[in-house]
Structure 1
């Protein structure tokens, strides 16, 4: 005798989908862990996984949650910032919140742009994302911030990764970009001896990506991509 339960087909489909997702997640995690083992001495790791741009949003969210990673096309980027840069991230967040308490400012928060998943060092949203966008930002498509801040060491690959990433996002959204270049030092950063002094304003004539050779320096692009 056979018994047919109403809704059993839907349950079976759901279980099959979740099983496929779990298998895919395990497979990708294995690839990532093997790559990280080979590249332990790098502060930014790029891992190429064919077909990654075809996986569903739940798998992508699992990758982000496990590795604090960004996914751009078929590449996963994992950055190791260290305490000095992370402290600067917190200071920038606090400064934004002090400037306007209504803004939603937070470091290392995932956003979705052009089908890719990014994690700005600090993001400032003029309108607070919804609860679901804060809870599951990839599944619920949290938009990019209104102000996108990146802090990077003035050497590659950290520098080039930031420049490439922002160049991609600029083509999609109207965002203010702030990029702060740090010198790679062996000791603590010194306090600015002239904190009230005016900065030197440099406008590149022929190359929008032109920048000073020595850090520290700041790059700002307004919502019209004007440096």
Structure 2
């Protein structure tokens, strides 16, 4: 767990990530590059749904074999199509790979059950707290400065138009007002999330950012010694904590260096600028 695979094969070369260069990682990479190229070529040459479905099934089968990897970074093959046809190719790639496309690179996020459970708990809590004008979503596609992102949890107010929700790339779905990422406490996953915030923040002056860092180890977090105690607002630390779990919060309009860090403890919560809270217990319960 907690590994990033970067680079591609063929003319791009192959490189391991996080100091890892095992044949297992390289084989994963080769398979993904092969199917990505096959997908792009088939969509350009033949748009029949049965062909796309066939490739989707093959890619999904390969992804199910991947273990101990959090993020896979690949350089996109050259796509000849332009305009809406090119955007349609991107949307199909997203549907297949559950990916982000940034500066012609494909970032495939392989979230396990633990992360997925945190996403669901945070989203459900926000739904209960925010007014009906808000839309919260997990892994929804949005556009920032020509790139295609998928926040782990996003909150929009008002919600994007129907055509932006159905075809978010073609119709330029805007970034959320609340952007939450969940990452493991390793350099690959953690740095990817921070770099993402650094990249998009100048183009999202009204967006509030939250990064949740959880341990990459399989050791369970200690259970709550005072269950049922009323939660109190967490106090920020002078510096980023050295050990997970912890959380970073960047208020809307602030640059990344202004991020405030919180050590996650039982019976604490973060007060968000949007008017909702993130209950640390919701996250810590997943880790126990």
TM-score strictly above 0.5: yes
Secondary structure (helix, strand or coil) at the match of 2:187 reads: coil
* Distance of 1:149 and 1:99 partners within structure 2: 16
Query: Normalising to structure 1: TM-score of the pair?
Result: 0.77
Counterpart mapping for 1:127-142 below 5 A: 127-142=158-173
> Which residue does 2:208 correspond to in 1?
176
2:183 matched residue in structure 1: 152
The equivalences for 1:37-186 within 5 A come to 41-51=68-78, 56-102=86-132, 103-174=134-205, 175-186=207-218
Range with bigger deviation, 141-150 or 49-58: 49-58
- Residue 24 (structure 1) shift: 8.8
Shift of 1:101: 3.7
Is the contact made by 1:46 and 1:78 (CA closer than 8 Å) also made in structure 2? yes
The alpha-carbon distance between structure 1 residues 216 and 72, as it changes in their structure 2 partners (threshold 3 A), is same
SS of residue in 2 equivalent to 1:171: helix
Provide the C-alpha distance between the structure 2 equivalents of 1:223 and 1:146, rounded to a whole number of angstroms: 8
1:14 match: none
Q: What is the CA–CA distance in structure 2 between the aligned matches of 1:97 and 1:185, rounded to whole Å?
A: 30
Match of 2:245 among 212, 216, 222: 216
Cα RMSD after superposing both structures? 3.0
Larger Rg: 1
Distance apart, 1:107 and its partner CA: 0.7
In 2: Cα distance, 1:200 partner to 1:69 partner:
34
Q: CA deviation at 1:67?
A: 0.8
Q: Secondary structure of the equivalent of 1:157?
A: helix
Residues 85 and 36 from structure 1, CA distance in 2 versus in 1: closer, same or farther, beyond 3 angstroms?
Answer: closer
Contact residue 143 and residue 175 of structure 2 kept, 8 A: yes
Gaps of 5+ in 2: 1-40, 260-288
Within 2, Cα distance between the matches of 1:135 and 1:220? 30
> Could you tell me how far 1:223 is from its partner in structure 2?
0.9
Distance 2:64 2:74 in 1: 12
TM-score, length basis structure 2: 0.61
- Where does structure 1 lack aligned partners over 5 or more consecutive residues? 1-18, 205-210
- 8 Å CA contact 2:70–2:109 kept in 1: the answer is yes
C-alpha contact (below 8 Å) 1:52/1:74 kept by paired residues = no
The Cα of 1:189 is off from its aligned counterpart by 4.0
